[in-house]
């Protein structure tokens, strides 16, 4: 077996029988509009402009702690572990060895992990987990206010901007977690949690770290 730097592979020996892909599975999917891929030319342009305008203040501490969820239904737990570590919250419990660090397995005080693994987790339980693990939480739902849709949208936009303009060096550093429908964006699945990593004001787009 020879593997070269260009990732081409040459195999010497008896041929293996062709193996069909398992049914009803997939490896990645194209990112549908209106989302813009972070690594694309357009994504990099938006990132550079947002960085220049100071609306990526929360990005760097979050990206240092980026975490891929360990189970299909652990998006809420994976997001919260990433956010708590970015905020520098001490879990007061050991992760592994001598290290105190948040992982999904430590986030079990508001809902049993087996239940979350099977059903996911509700918005109120994510807020509960954040609070009981030492974070200050200001939780809002889009349908809770007695205001019209435009007023709710504007309040959300201002909250995103305030969070994304926060200085990572400040003691009161803030992070925003959003709960949204992937189905509404043409993506696989439905209810989902992700942290917001930045905001591009000119196009009114948020960077979802997912």
Q: Is the peptide bond before 206 cis (omega within 30 degrees of 0)?
A: no
Q: For residue 75, indicate whether it is catalytic.
A: yes
Token pair for 197:
């990593």
- Distance (Å, rounded) from C-alpha 190 to C-alpha 194? 13
Q: Of residues 75, 110, 164, 200, which has the active-site annotation?
A: 75
Q: For residue 164, indicate whether it is catalytic.
A: no
* 3-state secondary structure (DSSP) of residue 101: coil
User: Is-contact 67 81, C-beta < 8 A?
Assistant: yes
β 177-181/9-10 pair status: unpaired
Q: Of residues 67, 110, 200, 210, which has the active-site annotation?
A: 210
Q: For residue 210, indicate whether it is catalytic.
A: yes
The residues carrying an active-site annotation are 75, 192, 210
């Amino acid at each position: 077996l020879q593997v070269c730097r260009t990732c081409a592979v040459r195999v010497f020996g008896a041929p293996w029988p062709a193996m069909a892909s398992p049914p009803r599975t997939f490896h990645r999917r194209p990112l549908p509009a209106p989302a813009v891929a972070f690594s694309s030319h357009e994504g990099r342009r938006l990132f550079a402009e947002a960085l220049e305008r100071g609306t990526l203040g929360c990005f760097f501490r979050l990206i240092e702690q980026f975490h891929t969820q360990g189970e299909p239904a652990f998006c809420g737990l994976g997001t919260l572990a990433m956010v708590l570590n970015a905020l520098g919250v001490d879990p007061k419990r050991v992760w592994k060895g001598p290290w105190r660090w948040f992982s999904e397995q430590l986030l079990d005080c508001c809902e049993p992990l087996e239940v979350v693994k099977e059903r996911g987790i509700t918005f109120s339980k994510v807020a509960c987990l954040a609070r009981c693990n030492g974070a200050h939480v200001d939780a809002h739902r889009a349908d809770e206010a007695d205001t019209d849709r435009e007023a709710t949208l504007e309040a959300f936009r201002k909250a995103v901007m305030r969070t994304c303009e926060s200085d990572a060096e400040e003691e009161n550093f803030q992070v925003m977690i959003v709960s949204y429908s992937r189905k509404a964006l043409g993506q696989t699945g439905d209810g989902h949690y992700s942290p917001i990593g930045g905001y591009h004001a000119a196009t009114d787009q948020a960077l979802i770290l997912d």
